[in-house]
A and B are shown apart, each in its own frame.
Chain A
Amino acid sequence: MSENTLFITENSCKKTEGGFDIGLDDLVLTQDAATSAGSKMLAGFKSLFEARIVERLREAGYDIAGKVNIGEFGFDFLGESSYFGPVIDADGHLVTATAKLLGDSSVDAVVGLDVNGAQARAASLSGQVHLKPTYGCVSRFGTVAIACSGETVDITARSTKDVQQVLDVLAGHDDADGTSLPASECARLTTAGFAEAVGAGEAFAAPITHVKVARGLMNSADADTKQLMEAAIQTLSSEGIGVTDTASETDDLFAVANLAWNILMCAELCNNVNRFEGMKYGYHTEKYQTIDELYTKSRTEAFGYLTKVAILYGSEVLATGNYERCYDKALRIRRLVSEAFASEFAQGASAGNAAGQTAILLPACAKRAYSLADVEANPYLAFEENRFTAPAAITGLPALTAGGVQLVGPAFSDVALLRLADILTADCAGKEA
């Protein structure tokens, strides 16, 4: 397919005068437009119902600008695996359609599904703001399920203020989502709920006063990325934020978090895309003799290479003989990574910042620019460079990308993270000016 398809479908309401237009990534079900999940398998598929987040946005009066191109099933590196083609910017760099549309001011925010960090990487490379909220606080009902135990609805925008504005609409309990948290907990992510919690002295509403640098992951990035991280550290320090490093034991666990996440993600993906067999949904092959041939030819013709890799890997890690050392092991490592985060958050608070919270600072990707040639040379970048986003994905903790770097905080610290990020984005704005 050709390059630079930004919208899969585009609505006439795009860029209304003075409006706040929202793009939906192609994993979010809508009734008035097709939802393809970036895949030939679902190209042109129209849902009978809408995602809960779309209902919430429409009820709040937001315009839906269109369905935004994404990589197939949303788990690739930077959208390169989309059936509708990758997106290349004017400098020849690989970007996501989300980042390009926001950069061109064609939309004011994009709401989608964060499966494996693609939009966090894109936001980091584009100087935009991306939030993967605390797991369970935004309904996933009506999104195409890929890796349910870690994926969350995400928001990308040009500013922290715009992200919060959308989050205020989206956060909330939903009976239709079995992983949705109680309303009182979801409300912690809204401006109003946060303000109430500040008044009540709730721990999650305390400002983030300490940052711990994931030095091991930082050192695995290139020189430009390390320089960006050092600049962020300096900025935060100059604003009175305490900065120390994560423990070496934590670094060791962060280093394998993506290996565990790859196992869980692919296992879940393998099961979730099993429903796409060429009959009930989307594409089916034209020439076949038997039902088995129909299934096999349809899936083989419709899925891209990376999806086939994920399906086969997911199947293999669940196979008898591998289950214990792969899938079961990954679930136990998920707990260790979660406990490592908790330990870091607690240590930061006890290091003279008892009144504040602690966040982890790390890069979102290893370089400051990628080309199509990079992912052609190594089609598995999504399974390797997700080492920066996997610690948050596997634990369900909120992760905010702003000013090119990533902050991961305790559960429900989303608003506190956005406020801390104001320091980083203000610094970027100042430099651009």
Chain B
Amino acid sequence: MDRDALLGLESLNQLALTPEEQDEMLAFFAAREADWESLAQVDTANVERMVHVRPMVNVLREDVPSQPFSREDLLAQAPESMDGYWQVPRVLQ
């Protein structure tokens, strides 16, 4: 991981680190290389991936329309609202 790659990662994740934070982050990533090397030493050639810790089955149910929350409750979550709608920043010039 170099500074350019870190900048790309920041952009991807919509973050902007300070130069000091970038230095710390680069040191953190350098230390993780040793972690990955330790993991590489573990033989997993014939080991299946374990995504769920307990056996899981997909649970399906009827798709029934409902109105769990009122318009007023939902608008109360908005930083700003107008005419019964969420008001968001202008994104098209």
Residues of A within 8 A of B (CB): 46, 48-49, 135-136, 149-150, 175, 178-179, 181, 252-253, 255-256, 259-260, 262, 270, 274, 277, 279, 284, 288, 290-292, 294-297, 299-300, 303, 305, 308-309, 311-313, 315-316, 319, 325-326, 328-336, 338, 380, 394-397, 411
Contacts and interface: CB of A to CB of B under 8 A. Distances in A.
Contacts of B31: 380
A336 B42 contact: yes
Given A288-B89, A294-B89, A315 B53 contact: no
B15 A149 contact: no
A207 to B, nearest CB: 23
A150 B89 contact: no
Contacts of A325: 36, 39-40
Contacts of B88: 279
Pick the 8 closest A-B CB pairs, nearest first: A396-B53, A335-B50, A332-B44, A331-B49, A332-B47, A334-B50, A259-B35, A295-B14
Contacts, number: 130
Contacts of B56: 178-179
Chain B interface extent, by class: 35 or more
B30 interface: no
A178 B59 contact: yes
A308 B17 contact: yes
A196 B53 CA distance: 26
22 contacts: A46-B76, A48-B74, A175-B59, A179-B52, A256-B42, A262-B35, A288-B89, A296-B16, A300-B15, A311-B15, A313-B29, A315-B12, A316-B29, A319-B9, A329-B42, A331-B50, A332-B44, A333-B39, A333-B47, A336-B44, A395-B53, A396-B53
A59 B64 CA distance: 27
A295 B59 CA distance: 35
Given A256-B39, A325-B36, A136 B54 contact: yes
A313 B32 contact: yes
A79 to B, nearest CB: 21
Interface string B6-40: 10011011111100010011001101100110111
A363 to B, nearest CB: 20
A14 to B, nearest CB: 27
Contact of A326 (B13, B36, B52): B36
